[in-house]
Amino acid sequence: NAGVTQTPKFQVLKTGQSMTLQCAQDMNHEYMSWYRQDPGMGLRLIHYSVGAGITDQGEVPNGYNVSRSTTEDFPLRLLSAAPSQTSVYFCASSFLAGDNEQFFGPGTRLTVL
């Protein structure tokens, strides 16, 4: 099993550009989520999904869209990148609910100029 994979590992964008961060898991987990990590602020939940076709907002959803068309994939779209979205982004998955053990991907380091 590859676990949770994320691409790309690094990305530099200009303000206003859009892009999609990819996340995939091969553990047949129902629950997937996206976090951003900023210094001193821990991990903040952006969006999450309890299963294919179902998504919901987390703590900091503005400026981000998600979709869950399959159990395996949960892409995160930045609609119009802003410098405030410079961060490290982690995708995570768990077997069922959000309060189960989370398996994290390796992260994507995003810089918006």
Partner 1 sequence: GQQVMQIPQYQHVQEGEDFTTYCNSSTTLSNIQWYKQRPGGHPVFLIQLVKSGEVKKQKRLTFQFGEAKKNSSLHITATQTTDVGTYFCAGDGGNKLVFGAGTILRVKS
- Measured CA to CA, the distance from residue 59 to residue 95 in angstroms comes to 22
CA dihedral 109, 105, 93, 11 (to 10 degrees): 30
Q: Is 14 in the site for partner 1 (CB under 8 A)?
A: no
- Measured CA to CA, the distance from residue 4 to residue 73 in angstroms comes to 10
Binding mask 52-91 for partner 1 (x = CB under 8 A): ----x-xx------------------------------x-
Task: Name the amino acid, one letter, at 70.
Answer: T
Q: Are 4 and 25 in contact (CB under 8 A)?
A: yes
Binding segment (CB under 8 A) for partner 1, from list 13-21, 60-68, 78-86, 95-103? 95-103
Q: Is 19 in the site for partner 1 (CB under 8 A)?
A: no
**Contact footprint for partner 1 (CB under 8 A):** 31, 33, 35, 40-45, 48, 50, 56, 58-59, 90, 92, 97-99, 101-107
